Amino acid sequence: MLLENYNRAPLTVVAGEGCELIDDTGRRYLDLVGGIAVCALGHAHPAIADAVAAQARTLVHVSNLYGHEPAGTLANELSYRSGFERVFFCNSGTEANEAAIKLARKFAYRTGNKQRNVILSCTGGFHGRTMGALAATANTAYHDGFAPLPAGFRTTPFNDVAALQDAIDENVAAFIVEPVQGESGVFCASPEFLKAARELCSQRGALLIFDEVQCGMGRVGPLFAFQAYGVTPDVVTLAKALANGLPIGAMLVREQFAAGLKPGDHGSTFGGSPVPCAAALAHLRVRDETHLEHHVAAISGELFRGLNDLAMRYPHIYGEPRGMGLLVGLPVLPPHDAADIVNDLREHASILVNKAGNNTIRLVPPLILTASQVERMLDAFSMAAESRAATAPLAAGYPSAH
Ligand code: PLP
């Protein structure tokens, strides 16, 4: 039996196709969760499946004692697209952040700044579940019962430039921030905050790390969120959508900080193994071929227009939507509960969304979402609101799943 560390919905998924999931009774769901911002090209994409199958027939694993072509090519592709010269591969977002934390501390150590070991992060941020990444995650609800966490972590209020000026001192090795916070309910960093972070880190000798595990890989439009903001950090961490569903994480590093980690300092048995790298390469290729960035911009516009309209029509139920691209949070206003709406949409409209942060519905669908799927989703949100406004039984009147 599986350990009960997840709250799973009563749904057993057997297959996926594009933006839809199919359960063990054959029922099809419109999937606006996308494996939590992972399946950017949707489910069972033929190019990903072909790349995985071909690579699995050629070479599955060699360890990092030797080089192999998929990792080298993927590193070069990511460097070319980001402008970051060095790439480290691991298996998850948490691991990518652990690598960034270790790199920042060791870089300070190697450059004679041994006291510079503090990792500064933001309130509302989420960086993962291992002890270091957890210590960088400000929300203490994730910490409960796991003390003692590693020392040398501090937090500063998100989007507060004045507080950041005080917080980045001579002991800070790195400031880590999500350009768009995902887990806490979708909150965008202000451009001023990220610009100030860039200036302060450069002036005071701290590394600037952007955690793009959730908001990267085209989720907010451009391939990297830092490109949307026009602010270039020193380190970027990626995972989730990188290989469209196969486990992989990456840390991108600018050349001048790359000597932070030398042979023996850090590693991973599976990190950057051939099959996920082949899937990631296929993902990048399809992204280019389908001009996905333009599609995200267009469909995001439709989605925000619809959600703003919804918030205007049902001001006692939905708040103003937040986010960028296809990383979107729709606040639900008390006494209504986002979790109830999530359940209603699944049960009565065959639509999957999830709750994040404080009473917010998070939408992180595959980036290939179509206008008619947006329309279907908006209709379902309207029906959920109507049934609440009227306090009528929920099932009647929901748009059909098929
Ligand atoms: N960083 C951010 C911004 C995330 O959203 C997540 C996961 O939700 C993580 C890190 C952790 O990634 P993983 O679950 O792949 O370890």
At 269-281, the pLDDT tens digits run 999 999 999 999 9
> Higher-confidence residue: 350 or 392?
350
Q: What is the pLDDT of residue 230?
A: 98
At 6-29, the pLDDT tens digits run 999 999 999 999 999 999 999 999
Pocket of ligand 1 from Cβ distances under 6 Å: 92-94, 97, 126-128, 178, 182-183, 211, 213-214, 239
At 53-82, the pLDDT tens digits run 999 999 999 999 999 999 999 999 999 999
- Best probe residue, ligand 1, of 39, 183, 224 (max atoms within 8 Å of C-beta): 183
**What whole-number distance in Å separates Cα of residue 364 and Cα of residue 43?**
14
CA of 359 to the centre of ligand 1 (A): 20
**What is the rounded average pLDDT for all residues in the chain?**
96
pTM of the model: 0.96
At 329-346, the pLDDT tens digits run 999 999 999 999 999 999
The pair phi, psi for residue 231, each rounded to 5°, is -125, 120
Ligand 1 atom at minimal distance to the Cα of residue 240: 15
**What whole-number distance in Å separates Cα of residue 351 and Cα of residue 332?**
17
At 99-153, the pLDDT tens digits run 999 999 999 999 999 999 999 999 999 999 999 999 999 999 999 999 999 999 9
- Residue whose Cα lies nearest atom 14 of ligand 1: it is 93
Q: What is the pLDDT of residue 388?
A: 87
- Best probe residue, ligand 1, of 90, 127, 242 (max atoms within 8 Å of C-beta): 127
Q: Which fold has domain 13-31+291-389?
A: Aspartate Aminotransferase, domain 1 (3.90.1150)
CATH of 46-289, one of 3.40.1710.10, 3.40.640.10, 3.40.50.620, 3.90.170.10: 3.40.640.10
- Residue whose Cα lies nearest atom 5 of ligand 1: it is 214
Q: What is the pLDDT of residue 395?
A: 42
CA of 244 to the centre of ligand 1 (A): 15
CA of 349 to the centre of ligand 1 (A): 29
Ligand 1 atom at minimal distance to the Cα of residue 212: 3
CA of 341 to the centre of ligand 1 (A): 24
Torsion, Cα 101 102 103 106, to 10 degrees, reads 130
Q: Which residues of 180-203 are buried (b: 16+ CB within 10 A; e: fewer)?
A: bbbbbbbbbbeeebbebbbbbbee
CA of 132 to the centre of ligand 1 (A): 13
Which residues share a beta bridge with 363?
328
Could you tell me the pLDDT band of residue 402, with boundaries at 50, 70 and 90?
very low
When pLDDT is averaged across residues 243-266 and rounded to a whole number, the result is 97
Ligand 1 atom at minimal distance to the Cα of residue 247: 15
Ligand 1 atom at minimal distance to the Cα of residue 215: 3
pLDDT at 398 exceeding the cut of 60? no
CB 38 within 8 A of CB 245: yes
pLDDT at 392 exceeding the cut of 50? no
Convert the chain into a string of H (helix), E (strand) and C (coil): CCCCCCCCCCCCEEEEEECEEEECCCCEEEECCHHHHCCCCCECCHHHHHHHHHHHHHCCCCCCCCCCHHHHHHHHHHHHHHCCCEEEEECCHHHHHHHHHHHHHHHHHHCCCCCCCEEEEECCCCCCCCHHHHHCCCCHHHCCCCCCCCCCEEEECCCCHHHHHHHCCCCEEEEEECCEECCCCCEECCHHHHHHHHHHHHHHCCEEEEECCCCCCCCCCCCCHHHHHCCCCCEEEECHHHHECECCEEEEECHHHHHHCCCCCCCCCCCCCHHHHHHHHHHHHHHHHCCHHHHHHHHHHHHHHHHHHHHHHCCCCECCCEEECCEEEEEECCCCCHHHHHHHHHHHHCEECEEECCCEEEECCCCCCCHHHHHHHHHHHHHHHHHHHCCCCCCCCCCCCC
Per-domain residue ranges of the chain: 13-31+291-389, 46-289
- Best probe residue, ligand 1, of 134, 137, 213 (max atoms within 8 Å of C-beta): 213
Residues 6 or more apart from 71 whose CB is under 8 A from it?
89, 272, 273, 274, 277
CA of 86 to the centre of ligand 1 (A): 21
Ligand 1 atom at minimal distance to the Cα of residue 133: 10
CB 216 within 8 A of CB 223: yes
CA of 193 to the centre of ligand 1 (A): 22
When pLDDT is averaged across residues 237-265 and rounded to a whole number, the result is 98
CB 183 within 8 A of CB 356: yes
Burial class (CB in 10 A: 0-12, 13-18, 19+), 391: exposed
Tell me, what amino acid is at 47?
A: A
State the pairing for strand pair 28-31/20-23: antiparallel
At 301-329, the pLDDT tens digits run 999 999 999 999 999 999 999 999 999 99
Q: What is the pLDDT of residue 331?
A: 98
